[in-house]
């Protein structure tokens, strides 16, 4: 975050994996950070500075559809309508590209409202659309890829977090085809890039991704070696592939290069 002046930030959703680490990172960089508790009415009565909206559901969105709408859209609507802020960065997801042929930020997207698995995408896209339609200045969207890093929650729905938990117990079961692949971005890059987007982003939407597809088979091999773990693939496991995420906007604007998710061997 070199070159960013000290600023006042408010992190909404500061108890989650991204939010909690973002609070600590911003404070370490000399910024003033407020992390209000859920339901704190002071969000609507005091200046918030630069808001990073990390509120959201992950693995349990299918069983908590109404909470998903509240988190991704309801609270956001109130913040955009009533809060005092200098900028707002809404954290969305590259999952919205599911079924899309083009993953550039301005590409048209496909949705299937009758499929319950699309509820996550639809609520994130509604939140994005609300940001654009709000009429508020300095409102941006960051579509996060699959974030990996230390201390991931195995119950988060993150494939790598689940496999890591299993590997530490000595045996992994993969429920998708090993040639399935996803884009992964290291949490350290996310913590570096989000404040840049919030304070200086020239565009309204950014893919926060590495731009690299990593097959599930590669995770099985790496985790198996690191933790001396065996593995098996569930019979009939489906092949899951998204189009590679286009990360050119982010990388061109700041010249950043995504670090390896493998790190130095201690990344996970």
pLDDT digits (tens, 9 = 90+) for 221-265: 999 999 999 999 988 889 988 889 999 999 999 999 999 887 654
Q: Are 253 and 193 in contact (CB under 8 A)?
A: no
Contact call for residues 258 and 182 (beta carbons, < 8 A): no
Q: How far from chain centre, in Å, is Cα 257?
A: 18
In this predicted structure, the answer to whether residue 266 has a pLDDT above a threshold of 60 is no
In this prediction, residue 117 carries a pLDDT of: 86
pLDDT value for 153 = 87
Label the pairing between strands 139-144 and 205-208: parallel
> What pTM, to 2 d.p., does this model score?
0.94
* SS3 state at 244: coil
Cα separation, 110 vs 118, in Å, equals 10
Average pLDDT over residues 98-123: 93
Q: Quick check: 39 pLDDT over 70?
A: yes
The yes-or-no verdict on residue 213 having pLDDT over 50 is yes
More confident residue, 265 or 169: 169
Q: Which two tokens stand for residue 239?
A: 């092949």
Judge whether residue 134 has pLDDT over 50: yes
User: For residue 28, is pLDDT > 80?
Assistant: yes
pLDDT at 3: 62
Q: Which residue carries 């592939």 as its tokens?
A: 241
Q: Give residue 59's pLDDT band: very low, low, confident or very high (50, 70, 90).
A: confident
The whole-chain average pLDDT of the chain stands at 93
What local confidence, expressed as pLDDT, does residue 31 receive? 96
Indicate whether 58 pLDDT > 70. Answer: yes
pLDDT over 80 at 268, yes or no: no
pLDDT at site 60: 84
- Report the pLDDT value the prediction gives residue 157, as an integer from 0 to 100: 82
Question: Which pLDDT value is given to residue 1?
Answer: 42
More confident residue, 94 or 158: 94
How much is the average pLDDT of 45-73?
93
φ and ψ of 175, to 5 deg: -105, 20
């Amino acid at each position: 975050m070199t070159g960013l002046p000290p600023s006042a930030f408010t992190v909404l959703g500061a108890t989650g994996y991204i939010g909690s680490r973002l609070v600590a990172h911003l404070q370490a960089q000399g910024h003033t950070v407020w992390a209000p508790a859920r339901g704190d009415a002071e969000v609507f009565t005091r200046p918030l500075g630069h808001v990073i909206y990390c509120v959201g559901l992950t693995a349990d969105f299918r069983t908590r559809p109404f909470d998903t709408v509240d988190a991704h859209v309801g609270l956001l609507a109130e913040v955009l309508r009533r809060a005092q802020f200098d900028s707002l960065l809404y954290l969305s997801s590259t999952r919205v590209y599911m079924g899309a042929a083009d993953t550039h930020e301005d590409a048209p997207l496909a949705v299937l409202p009758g499929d319950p698995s699309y509820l996550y995408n639809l609520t994130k896209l509604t939140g994005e659309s609300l940001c654009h339609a709000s009429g508020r200045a300095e409102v941006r969207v960051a579509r996060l890829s699959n974030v990996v890093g230390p201390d991931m929650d195995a119950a988060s729905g993150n494939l790598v977090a689940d496999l890591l938990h299993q590997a530490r117990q000595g045996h992994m079961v993969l429920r998708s085809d090993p040639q399935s692949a996803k884009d992964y971005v290291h949490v350290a890059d996310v913590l570096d890039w989000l404040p840049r987007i919030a304070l200086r982003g020239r565009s309204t939407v950014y893919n926060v991704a590495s731009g690299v597809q990593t097959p599930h088979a590669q995770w099985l091999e790496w985790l198996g070696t690191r933790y001396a773990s065996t593995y098996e693939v569930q019979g009939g496991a489906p092949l899951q592939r998204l189009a590679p995420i286009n990360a050119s906007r982010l990388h061109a604007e700041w010249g950043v290069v995504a670090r390896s998710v493998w790190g130095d061997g201690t990344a996970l």
